[in-house]
Amino acid sequence: RELLRAMRQAAFLEGINVARRDVQVELASRAGIDLHEFVEALDDETVEQSITESGEEAESLGIRGVPALVIGGEWLMQGCRDASEYRHVIDKYLRERRSGPPVRTIH
In order, the DSSP letters of 29-82 are: HHTT--HHHHHHHHH-HHHHHHHHHHHHHHHHTT--SSSEEEETTTEEEES---
- The answer to whether 26 touches 40, Cβ cutoff 8 Å, is no
Work out the number of other CB atoms within 10 angstroms of the CB of residue 59. 10
- The answer to whether 70 touches 76, Cβ cutoff 8 Å, is yes
Looking at the DSSP bridge assignments, the partners of residue 70 are 76
Q: What is the mean pLDDT of residues 35-64?
A: 90
Q: What's the pLDDT at 107?
A: 53
In the predicted model, is pLDDT for residue 42 greater than 60?
Answer: yes
In the chain, the percentage of residues whose pLDDT exceeds 90 is: 46
Q: What's the pLDDT at 101?
A: 65
- The answer to whether 38 touches 7, Cβ cutoff 8 Å, is no
Q: What's the pLDDT at 58?
A: 87
Q: What's the pLDDT at 65?
A: 76
Q: Which of 12-26, 62-76, 78-92 has the highest mean pLDDT?
A: 12-26
Q: What is the mean pLDDT of residues 8-17?
A: 89
Instruction: Tell me the per-residue pLDDT of 77-106, one tens digit each, with 9 for 90 and over.
Output: 888 788 899 899 999 999 988 876 655 555
